[in-house]
Structure 1
Amino acid sequence: MNTYKIFAINPGSTSTKIAMFENDEEIFSKNVSHDAEKLKEFKEISDQFGYRKQTILNELKAAGQSLENVAAFSARGGGLVNVEGGVYTVGEKLLEHAKAGFTVKHPATLGAQLAAAFAGEYGGAAFVVNPPDVDEFSDVARVTGLKGIYRESRIHALNQKEIGIRYAAKQGKKYEDMNLIICHIGGGISVTAHDHGKMVDSNDIANGDGPMAPTRCGQIPVKDVVTMCFSGKYTENEMRDKITKTGGLVDHLGTSDAREVTAMIAAGNQYAKLIYDAMLYEIGKYAGSMAAVLKGKVDGIVLTGGISHDPYVVEKLKEMLSFLAPITVMAGEFEMEALAAGALRVLRGEEALKEYTGIPVWNGFDGEPD
């Protein structure tokens, strides 16, 4: 069997995670830090490209790593129109949308740009694997009670898909042949129904949906939010921050670190216990709704993400969900492994490479009145 060298790239706000793999074995990894003050000098995210690229090359040189003979440069991606899951070649249209941040302004959009540049200089292919833009929702899952407001898939697509594939393999099955509920429990929380390889329903972690999370408010009574918006106490940006940055555990307990919360509970803080239990209760409740989406035919429930390391979390969710299906814990995040695994499947001919067209898989409903 051929050995493929794969370089994975995952840009974040002030760092870029990189890793070198030989097939599925990680031989080098580094979280490359970028000077926050330096990043402020760049007007647009794409303007950071040259600085980030050189910083990565410097780190590789210092570690004695080379990009020669890399078969694939595999990136997280982002800023694209909504797409179905899979591995995409970084072509002209994908690169155009990534550079512009066509749908969102986030450093993840630099992933495709870096992969394409490295592939151009060193040879090899440039891929994007299950980007944040993956949207496989069923039509009924999109509809809300207000015309013009739709539910869209904004979840941990890369890790969710990888966990689904890994779990199925452990059962001696294919991901496409199983019904799963996967709960990613970390800084953000996504609870997703996987129906034979498609993420048909979940919660929108960016727009205030689903369970409360460490920094996110989750689903709350909309009327009360409207009252807060027009109270004169908060600016629009402050209200938006309450949804994704300063809500959840931060708003209640002043921290987004679940370890600090468990320490509070251990010290006898009953309010901290109430809030933590409420978060777990909401996760369990939402997972139960995903079982209804799958019509009760659930092959397994998987807990992943960093907070799934906490035995208390696992215990509480098992109490709520064990009657539905077997529960497996695959704690942590597997994003870098997912980038390598996706590229490897394509290189081995196990998965077809997809082309990004720039045409969204969903853009409203046919026949919807104005």
Structure 2
Amino acid sequence: MKKILAINCGSTSTKVAYFEDDKMVSKVSLNITAEELKKMPKVLDQLEYRTNQVKQFLEENKLNPAEFDIIVTRAGTLPHVPVAGAYEVNELMIATLIYAPEAQHACTLSCLIAKRLVEGLDIPVIVYDPECVDSADEIAKITGIPEITNMPLVHLLNTKAAGIEYAKSVGKDYKDLNLIIAHLGGGITLGFHDHGRVADWVYDDEGPMSPQRAGAIPTRYMANFCYDWFKNGKTLKELRMYLCGQSGMVAYLGTQDVREVEKMIDEGDKKAELILKAMAYGVAKSIGQLAVIRNGKVDQIIITGGIAYSERITNWIKEKVSFIAPVTIIPGEKEMEALAWGALRVLNKEEEVHSYNVFPKGYKSIEEIINNPNCLA
């Protein structure tokens, strides 16, 4: 029997699950309130707090890290890797996530917490199916600025798991279908899964706003916003943290919890209804945007993630996109199962663990990364 611990840090919670072989024995979502997050605005500020939460979970469930066969985590904001699957959490990956992450996101903490748990122990730690797998069409990466190449990012773990679940439910193989899959969480991303390959995508900074993110902002406004931001003495780090943690729904309504917003709507708050509907509207527009990349050949639209539990939001989206393809709602997420099942395949020698060897752009050594004066974490 293989003992597997899975860790997945999201914007507002740390999900932890313990598996014995492919069976989930226990699972918890360790939430962090908006008030607590305000005290820890930088991602790394949260490391100690979240690590202690995980340790408490292990103690309460009488789980000893020394007895684990492997710990598998969600990958952080890393540079792009060529293939999906398992990657060893090594010194280069840790240095990159601490000193030169690609973006501000709590997922960065997942493997850092795991390494703390096994400090002094000979327990392997891996990440599985990173969000930064580059399988996209080359045409999708072209922008209007030659110096900027748009590289794919998507919630691969959950969207791929949802795609596999849907395919099984209709007696088909995930790799035989064209699927548009939208992940609705603290961040919202969408991907066009072309026979198992994410051919194009909409990341959470280029599509709809989300509970914590601004989404796409017209450049004619964004240029002035950035100019005023820096003119007032604020920094690039502060701007990134605002765009990826303090904007979107929470900036309008003071909460990142969709359930609270729905309660506000039920009590007659018209502004809350407009903002929530605008978020759903943006998701629908992004689905329409992706529908064209294979000339409208879409077998199914799938809406997943925590926000997909809201029938109000999913109905708003379905009203606008059902003409493209049928819509299936798979609320919640199967990221923990996807992580554990990947780790089990590694332990059973069905998959290899890739060596992580991708340096951030502009760096050639770990020492250069550690001495990075523009650390974003």
Range class of TM-score, shorter chain: 0.7 to 0.9
Is the 2:72–2:125 Cα contact (8 Å) retained in structure 1? yes
**Contact 1:4–1:344 (Cα < 8 Å) also in 2:** yes
Superposed CA offset, 1:311-367 (max 9, x none): 112212221222222211111133322211221233445545433232689xxxxxx
Do the aligned residues in 2 keep the contact of 1:115 with 1:127 (CA within 8 Å)? no
Query: Which moves more between the two structures, 18-27 or 271-280?
Result: 271-280
2 CA distance for matches of 1:277 and 1:98? Answer: 35
TM-score, scaled relative to structure 2 = 0.79
- Cα deviation 1:69-110 (Å, max 9, x = unaligned): 533211113243211322223355445545655545655445
Count residues with an aligned counterpart: 355
Q: 1:182 to 1:351 in 2, by over 3 A?
A: farther
For 1:319, the equivalent position in structure 2 comes to 319
Matches within 5 A, 1:83-94: 83=81, 84-91=83-90, 93-94=92-93
Measure the CA separation in 1 of the matches of 2:313 and 2:50. Answer: 37
Task: Pick from 186, 195, 220 the counterpart of residue 217 of structure 2.
Answer: 220
Whether the aligned pair in 2 keeps the contact of 1:82 and 1:360 (CA below 8 Å) is: no
Change (3 A) 1:12 1:224: closer
Contact 1:180 1:301 in 2 (8 A): yes
Q: How does 1:351-370 map to 2 (within 5 A)?
A: 351-358=351-358
SS in 1 for 2:320: helix
Which residue identity lines up with residue 226 of structure 2 in the other structure? C
Cα deviation, residue 303, structure 1: 0.7
SS of corresponding position for 1:333? coil
Q: d(CA) in 2 for partners of 1:259 and 1:52?
A: 23
> What are the residue-to-residue correspondences of 1:137-152 with 2, within 5 Å?
137-152=136-151
- Give 2:135's aligned amino acid: E
Greater shift in the superposed pair: 125-134 or 226-235: 226-235
Residues in 2 aligned to 1:172 and 1:119: alpha-carbon distance in whole angstroms? 41
SS at match of 2:216: coil
Listed as ranges, the gaps of 5+ residues in structure 1 are 362-370
- Mark the runs of 5 or more structure 2 residues left unpaired by the alignment: 362-377
Secondary structure of the structure 2 residue equivalent to 1:202: strand
1:338 is aligned to: 338
State the partner residue of 1:22. Answer: 20
Correspondence for 1:251: 251
Equivalents in 2 of 1:307, 1:118: separation in Å?
A: 31
Q: In structure 2, what residue type is equivalent to 1:259?
A: R
Aligned residue identity for 1:305: G
- Residue 325 of structure 1 aligns to a residue whose secondary structure is coil
Match of 2:2 among 4, 7, 19: 4
Secondary structure of 2:132's aligned partner? coil
CA distance in 2: counterparts of 1:289 and 1:177, whole angstroms = 22
Distance in 2, matches of 1:13 and 1:276, equals 19
Q: What does residue 283 of structure 1 align with? A: 283
> Alignment partner of 2:202: what SS?
coil
**1:215 shift after superposition:** 2.4
1:105-254 superposed matches below 5 A = 108-113=107-112, 115=114, 125-205=124-204, 208-231=205-228, 236-237=234-235, 239-254=239-254
The sequence identity of aligned pairs, in percent, is 38
Residue type of the alignment partner of 1:290: L
Conserved? CA contact 1:164–1:182, under 8 Å: yes
Indicate the SS of the match to 1:230: helix
Task: Report the equivalent of 1:365.
Answer: none
Larger displacement relative to structure 2 (275-284 or 155-164): 155-164
Deviation at 1:298, TM superposition (A): 1.5
> What is the letter of the counterpart of residue 197 of structure 2?
K
Aligned equivalents of 2:253, 2:14: Cα separation in 1:
30
Q: TM-score, normalised by structure 1?
A: 0.80
Q: Counterpart of 1:204 in structure 2: which amino acid?
A: Y
- Structure 1: which amino acid aligns with 2:187? G
In structure 2, relative to structure 1, the CA distance for the partners of 1:245 and 1:166 (3 Å cut) is same
